[in-house]
Amino acid sequence: MEPFKLVRAQNNASAIAASNSKETKFIAGGTNIIDLMKLYVEKPKQLVDVTSLNLKQIETQPDGSVKIGALVKNSDLAYHPVIKQKYPFLSEALLSGASAQLRNMASVGGNLLQRTRCYYFYDTAFPCNKREPGSGCPAISGYNRIHAVLGTSDKCIATSPSDMCVPMAALGAMIQVEGPAGSRKIPFADFHRLPGDTPQIDTNLKQGELITAVILPSLPFAAKSHYLKVRDRASYEFALTSAAVALDISNGKINNSRIALGGVGTKPWRSFAAEKVLNGAAANTQTYRAAAEAAMAGAKPHKYNAFKVELAKRTIVRALETVGGMV
Amino acid sequence: MNETVGKPIDRVDGKLKVTGGATYSAEFNIKNMVHGVAVTSEITKGRIQNINTGIAEKSPGVVGVMTYKNSMQLHSPQTSSPGAGKFAEKDLLPLQNDRVFYDGQIIAVVMAETLEQAEHAATLVKVNYQREEPVFDLEKNIEKAYEAASASTGAETQTKRGNATESLKTASQKIEQTYTTPVYHHNAMEPHATIALWQGETVLLYDATQSVAGTQGLMSSMLGVPKEKVRVVSYYLGGGFGSKGFSWPNTVLAAMAAKLVSRPVKLVLTRQQQFTTAGRRSQTIQKISLGADQSGKLSAIKHASTVESSFVDEFVETAGVATSMIYSSQNVEVSHKLVRLNKVTPCPMRAPGEAPGTYALEVAMDELAYQSKIDPLQLRLINYADQEEQKKKKFSSKYLKECYQKGAEMIGWSKRNPQPGSMKEGKYLVGYGMATATYPANRSASSAKATLFADGHAEILCATQDIGTGTYTIMTQTAADAFGLPIEKVTVKLGDSEFPKGANSGGSQVTASVGPAIRAASMGAVSKLVKLAIGDGKSPLHGQKEADITAQNGRLSLKTKPDQGEDYTQILVRQGLQKIEAQAATKVSTRQQTEANPAAGGSEEQIEEESKSNPVVQEDEKTDRKPYVFHSFGVQFVKVLVDPDLGMVHVDKAVAVMDVGTIMNLKTAKSQIMGGMIFGIGMALLEETNYDPNRGRPVTKDLANYLVPVHADMPDIEVEFINKPDMLISPIGARGVGEIGITGITAAINNAIYHATGKRVRELPVTPDKLL
């Protein structure tokens, strides 16, 4: 990897102060950035180790929301009783990701910043607009089986890889950050960016901003939720397609719903269109299929990932049926 | 007298391996050693116009950068078989000129004090290329296919009997389908790794190789150093699966680099580099035509394969190799064609030929069974081959019918509803499938040295190697039984070219090749001991006949009077001997390869001379093997669960019953078969190396994107053996178990998916998208 300087931050302020240039990155679990540095995809001149910061709590707030410190390990979050009870799909999503060893290292904040697993992004022998703006996208005309069908641009079709982010998108979580200009909360939907003409910029975080927490809103019906992940092998693989769904059903009617998709979008993909179909409709397979069609209506497949459109619909239907069948 | 052979004894090196005590080739800490990192090409075909190493050379810690401009000149390899030493790409000796034949070819090696310094400096080597138009897509270049002449595995590439084309015209049942398999990569856990250390004109290579003896000879010829000045050591291997059977550039490059910088050099290929510079299994396009009469009897079999080759060597993935002998039929035609591509040359990978070939043939057989409304198992029995019909020879031993019967019972074959799509468990469709497994029983020349020490322990030396299969363990058992000693008293030393030559670890041949040599040498040492006792007036066995004496538990005694005898140690101590030793070489070969195995360390002439008076060797070599062919057979049955909506397949249960002769160690043998079956699950459902369609550079080239099965994919696996000795192949009666486990399994899974869903996927791997 490119030689770099490592500084250890003792508190939020010193971490933010140290992150004063584009060539500085924070490091927590390091499960993604170290790989990328080894491959010369990421070449920070300085890493700021934030693992000593006091951001490791999971707290239920007075309004019923749950605040998750940015340094909470993926495994600790997945097994936390409050998460398992109030947001089971988040627990499922976390446990469907990576391996036990990685989940024990990976932090919540880091997972939000996880970069795409596009093969071309990872191999510096290929051009890549996300890695080297303006160099081109070989995935569009290349081997693109794992690539996105929603939110793509003519510059980039790289998929957002995170499982954790999918239920968080469905929940409409808030991301709390601290930066040189103070702290702010970013709605989940506004955190990740579509590639557009600037695929090199994954998020709307500003330089020096440190993620301190994710706040999950109180959403009682999320207690009946499910994360379904479809992939080639049974474990240790990113999703071909996935769906995080929560349904509020009474008397056979859907009062409220949340639905977000993974594996198909250039960012964690909440489908308001699908929710609109579901809300107020009868809880049956016909409705679920209509919601799935709505979710995938704008899909733009490429040569090797065309199957994802139908597979995603079936994933949505199965996930909805599963939650719909919960007593 | 088999005291330990056959028992499920724990690996003798198990504790070393799990505690980190087993030293693999990259793990030697040599004083003054530097780390080498390879730089690879980023074009698919062309020439290096300019390679600028100046910045890299100035980078901290760098001690040298080796390119074609400053590397030593290599000599052409003088050998070309895995046993004798085969350089993987004979027309691409590394760093000899500016030519680039494929994307990811090694074009420089950077040496530095630390690995990190070398890795970083490697990125600072700047290259300009003159590009040429490459070809890299098999399907798009199929019109360039040419007939394959011969295969380096020794397998025949074109075979014919009767007239299959004519017979197919009148067949009442016919299947004509094309089956494809993608490029696979071996992905052994241990990477390709070499440490090279020159001491004057002598070079020591710690090398991850499946052939220490072959590599010694090969490096001698390529480096232009006398063979006795090349020593190759490979004590432990973390798998090879064929990728370390041929020698890839890391080995010779480490030696060249060490010469250049006058310091020991360690060179380990990265996982990504192994996808472009260390072999692969060719993509295959296999057209199968089956003709049968109403009763299911095969009247014709045609198996035409088109596979990949390269511009720098030739390797044939002989997919049709088993087709001419696996079933009885009067009309059979097997052919192979090759297309040269700008990709790394393919090489053997676990059951080269049989793995993709039994997939295609055994799926076609399943298709014929369903079309003819004959039970797939019954169809195999109808076409059972009692003898090898192509060569018109007998099988040395064959218990395939017993395998079929036992396997069918274990999986509950008769209890299934054969109608496709008819069986369910919850939301999953259930399918059962089966296929025949087969792999040749190879044996080739080997020798060994056995020493009995006055303290009562014995030692075996043999320049074969344990690639992780358990060779150390079963050879310890073999020697212990031959010596009449408990296994704790026997130490087997392998993986050093200084030892008497042993077989290369390829073609599942080590057990059948090395075992008889170790047995003969051990028994030779015991025989010498017996003669000492007989001739010793102070021995209770003085004046007895050798034939009347038995060796057991470290003691010689009369067979009829066990009380009359003495311990080995007593004889040696009384004689004032520190040790007694014997060497044995067996030249028996069941292989078709013409090139002889090399003479490795030790005096070969002396070993051969000694073997002439070794009755065990003589008896073995006297066996008339001409009327026979040597093959192992077996059957694979699987049960799969398929999610009908999401296309996800889970192998729920897998059963194998194998006829592989004597089982040397039930535990390691089962592990080998299970490992093969899991390999087959990967091949059937997951594995595939994808190349960029515009450039021919692999894109799925790490273990995150090249999917091998993980624990969650594992079925309940049951393995049973017939365990009947094949005394024609050797006096130990064992045939190899390393590769047969991957044959048939891929077809069995595919056939089970068809039974579950009614969908026939003829393009591996069967991923969810293909079942939507």
Condensed to tens digits (0 to 9), the pLDDT of residues B652-690 reads 999 999 999 999 999 999 999 999 999 999 999 999 999
Residues above pLDDT 90, as percent of chain B = 95
For tokens 């004959």, the residue is B374
Q: Give yes or no for residue B364 having a pLDDT over 70.
A: yes
pLDDT at B81: 85
pLDDT at B594: 40
Contact residues on chain A for B692, CB-CB shorter than 8 A: 120, 126, 138, 142-143
**B741 in a domain, yes or no?**
yes
Q: Out of B645, B705, B709, name the one closest to residue A314 (CB).
A: B645
- Joined together, the tokens standing for residue B313 give 């060597």
Mean pLDDT computed over every residue of chain B: 96
**A48 in a domain, yes or no?**
yes
Q: Give yes or no for residue B273 having a pLDDT over 50.
A: yes
CA of A212: how far to CAs of A6, A107, A163, B337, B739, in Å?
20, 11, 20, 61, 53
* DSSP class of B99: E
**A229 in a domain, yes or no?**
yes
**B689 in a domain, yes or no?**
yes
- Do B699 and B585 belong together in one domain? no
pLDDT at B151: 78
Chain A residues within 8 Å of chain B (Cβ atoms): 1-3, 38, 40, 117, 119-120, 122-123, 125-126, 138, 141-143, 145-146, 230-238, 240, 307-308, 310-311, 314-315, 317-318
- B613 CB-contact burial (10 Å; exposed 0-12 / middle 13-18 / buried 19+): exposed
- Domain boundary (A30, A52, A74) is at A52
Q: Which of B129, B692, B713, B766 best tests the A interface by mutation, with the highest count of A CBs <10 A?
A: B692
- Joined together, the tokens standing for residue A44 give 């920070």
- B91 CB-contact burial (10 Å; exposed 0-12 / middle 13-18 / buried 19+): middle
Residue in B245, B268, B119 with CA at minimum distance from that of residue B192: B268
CB of A71 closer than 8 Å to CB of A107? yes
pLDDT in tens, B60-106: 999 999 999 999 999 999 988 878 999 999 999 999 999 999 999 99
Contact residues on chain B for A117, CB-CB shorter than 8 A: 704-705
B176 catalytic? Reply is no
- Do B393 and B496 belong together in one domain? no
Contact residues on chain A for B763, CB-CB shorter than 8 A: none
- B421 CB-contact burial (10 Å; exposed 0-12 / middle 13-18 / buried 19+): middle
CB of B709 closer than 8 Å to CB of B749? no
d(CA B747, CA B763): 11
Q: Do B693 and A230 touch (CB under 8 A)?
A: no
Sign of the four-CA dihedral A233, A235, A238, A244? positive
**A151 in a domain, yes or no?**
no
| Cα Rg, chain A, nearest whole Å | 19
**A96 in a domain, yes or no?**
no
Q: In B605-669, at which residue ranges do the beta strands (DSSP E only) sit?
A: 628-629, 631-642, 649-659
d(CA B687, CA A237): 13
- Do B491 and B401 belong together in one domain? no
* Nearest Cα residue in chain A from B715: A234
- Do B584 and B656 belong together in one domain? no
CA of A31: how far to CAs of A35, A103, B81, B508, B732, in Å?
7, 9, 43, 39, 51
Q: In A80-152, at which residue ranges do the beta strands (DSSP E only) sit?
A: none
d(CA A47, CA A9): 10
CA of B364: how far to CAs of A203, B302, B371, B406, in Å?
52, 11, 10, 23
CA of B330: how far to CAs of B90, B166, B173, B299, B383, in Å?
39, 12, 16, 6, 11
B712 touches chain A (CB under 8 A): yes
| Cα Rg, chain B, nearest whole Å | 27
- Do B522 and B559 belong together in one domain? yes
Instruction: Residue B492: give the domain boundaries.
Output: 442-628
B771 touches chain A (CB under 8 A): no
Pairing of strands B298-310, B284-292: antiparallel
Other beta carbons within 10 Å of B370:
21
pLDDT at B603: 65
Query: What ipTM does the predicted assembly reach?
Result: 0.97
**A20 in a domain, yes or no?**
yes
d(CA B696, CA B707): 20
d(CA B408, CA B752): 14
- A230 strand-pairing partners: A241
- Joined together, the tokens standing for residue B529 give 């001991």
- CATH code at position A45: 3.30.43.10
Residue in B390, B418, B414 with CA at minimum distance from that of residue B404: B414
pLDDT band at B601 (very low <50, low <70, confident <90, very high): very low
- CATH code at position B517: 3.30.365.10
Phi-psi label, residue B42: left if phi above 0, alpha if psi -120 to 50, beta otherwise: alpha
d(CA B528, CA B548): 15
- Domain boundary (B628, B653, B674) is at B628
CA of B645: how far to CAs of B419, B428, B471, B684, in Å?
20, 9, 46, 20
d(CA B647, CA A314): 10
pLDDT band at B595 (very low <50, low <70, confident <90, very high): very low
CB of A104 closer than 8 Å to CB of A31? no
Q: Where are the alpha helices (DSSP H) in B373-506?
A: 376-382, 400-411, 471-483
Contact residues on chain B for A42, CB-CB shorter than 8 A: none
How many independent structural domains does chain A possess? 2
- Do B485 and B521 belong together in one domain? yes
- Joined together, the tokens standing for residue B42 give 């980023």
pLDDT in tens, B553-573: 999 999 999 999 999 999 999
B580 touches chain A (CB under 8 A): no
Q: How many CB pairs under 8 A join A and B?
A: 95
Q: Mean per-residue pLDDT for B560-589?
A: 96
d(CA A198, CA A156): 9
Sign of the four-CA dihedral B594, B442, B511, B351? positive
- Do B369 and B501 belong together in one domain? no
**A319 in a domain, yes or no?**
yes
Q: Give yes or no for residue B598 having a pLDDT over 50.
A: no
- Joined together, the tokens standing for residue A168 give 């968080």
Q: How many CA atoms lie within 13 A of B563 on its CB side?
A: 0
**B240 in a domain, yes or no?**
no
pLDDT at B2: 55
Q: Out of A38, A235, A240, name the one closest to residue B712 (CB).
A: A235
Phi, psi of B618 (to 5 degrees): -60, -45
- Do B560 and B684 belong together in one domain? no
Helix count (H) and strand count (E) of chain B?
A: 18, 33
**B101 in a domain, yes or no?**
no
Q: Do B707 and A232 touch (CB under 8 A)?
A: yes
Q: What is the 3-state secondary structure (H, E, C) of B63-92?
A: EEEECCCCCCCCCCCCCEECCCEEECCCCC
Contact residues on chain B for A317, CB-CB shorter than 8 A: 645
**B458 in a domain, yes or no?**
yes
Contacts of A71 (CB under 8 A, 6+ apart): A28, A50, A51, A53, A55, A56, A107, A108, A109
- Do B613 and B492 belong together in one domain? yes
- Do B408 and B452 belong together in one domain? no
Sign of the four-CA dihedral B622, B624, B625, B626? positive
Q: Which of B187, B645, B703, B708 best tests the A interface by mutation, with the highest count of A CBs <10 A?
A: B645
Q: Do B769 and A240 touch (CB under 8 A)?
A: yes
Q: Can you tell me whether residue B198 is helix, strand or coil?
A: strand
Q: Give yes or no for residue B602 having a pLDDT over 80.
A: no
Per-residue pLDDT of chain A (327 residues; tens, 9 = 90+): 999 999 999 999 999 999 999 999 999 999 999 999 999 999 999 999 999 999 999 999 999 999 999 999 999 999 999 999 999 999 999 999 999 999 999 999 999 999 999 999 999 999 999 999 999 999 999 999 999 999 999 999 999 999 999 999 999 999 999 999 999 999 999 999 999 999 999 999 999 999 999 999 999 999 999 999 999 999 999 999 999 999 999 999 999 999 999 999 999 999 999 999 999 999 999 999 999 999 999 999 999 999 999 999 999 999 999 999 986
Contacts of A193 (CB under 8 A, 6+ apart): A201, A202, A203, A204, A267
- Do B507 and B583 belong together in one domain? yes
The H-or-E segment that residue B130 falls in is: strand B126-131
pLDDT at B149: 84
d(CA B709, CA B695): 28
- Do B407 and B507 belong together in one domain? no
- Domain boundary (B576, B598, B628) is at B628
Phi, psi of B124 (to 5 degrees): -95, -5
pLDDT band at B600 (very low <50, low <70, confident <90, very high): very low
Instruction: Residue A41: give the domain boundaries.
Output: 5-52
**A197 in a domain, yes or no?**
no
pLDDT in tens, B368-395: 999 999 999 999 999 999 999 999 999 9
The H-or-E segment that residue B334 falls in is: strand B331-341
Q: Which of A39, A159, A232 best tests the B interface by mutation, with the highest count of B CBs <10 A?
A: A232
Pairing of strands B428-440, B446-453: unpaired
Q: Do A235 and B645 touch (CB under 8 A)?
A: no
Q: Do A314 and B713 touch (CB under 8 A)?
A: no
- CATH code at position A301: 3.30.390.50
Q: Do A314 and B704 touch (CB under 8 A)?
A: no
pLDDT at B605: 84
- Domain boundary (B601, B628, B655) is at B628
**B754 in a domain, yes or no?**
yes
